[in-house]
Amino acid sequence: MLTGAEVERVAKLGRLALSDEEKARFARQMSAVLDYAAELANVDVEGIPPTASVLLAHSVMREGDEVAGSLDRKDVLANAPSTNGESFIVQATLDND
């Protein structure tokens, strides 16, 4: 079980002010989490390959999605309020300071 000092140290790292009741409750809860993590560390995983995901891989493309030609640059820029002929010109949103 975590000590009150250990809980206080973790709380200080998180910039949390805890009452004595909260410290006792968090000591029990954090100890339970750490005990479970220690239990998981003892699980035999020999022969089990590492996995990136437990979900099956599937295509995110919808049926009928196909690569198509791009719009013509001239058409895209036709209604823009300001361009340099190659791209949109927009007002800066960040200062250089």
**Domains with residue ranges and CATH for the chain:** 4-41 (1.10.20.60)
Q: What is the four-CA torsion angle of 48, 52, 55, 60, rounded to 10 degrees?
A: -150
Instruction: Write down the pTM of the prediction.
Output: 0.48
- pLDDT tens-digit map of 60-92: 777 777 888 889 999 999 999 999 989 999 988
What's the pLDDT score for residue 97? 60
- pLDDT tens-digit map of 27-59: 999 999 999 999 999 999 999 888 888 888 777
For the chain, what's the residue count? 97
Q: What is the DSSP letter of 83?
A: B
Q: How far apart are CA 24 and CA 3, in angstroms?
A: 9
Whether residue 7 contacts residue 26, with contact meaning beta carbons closer than 8 Å, is answered with yes
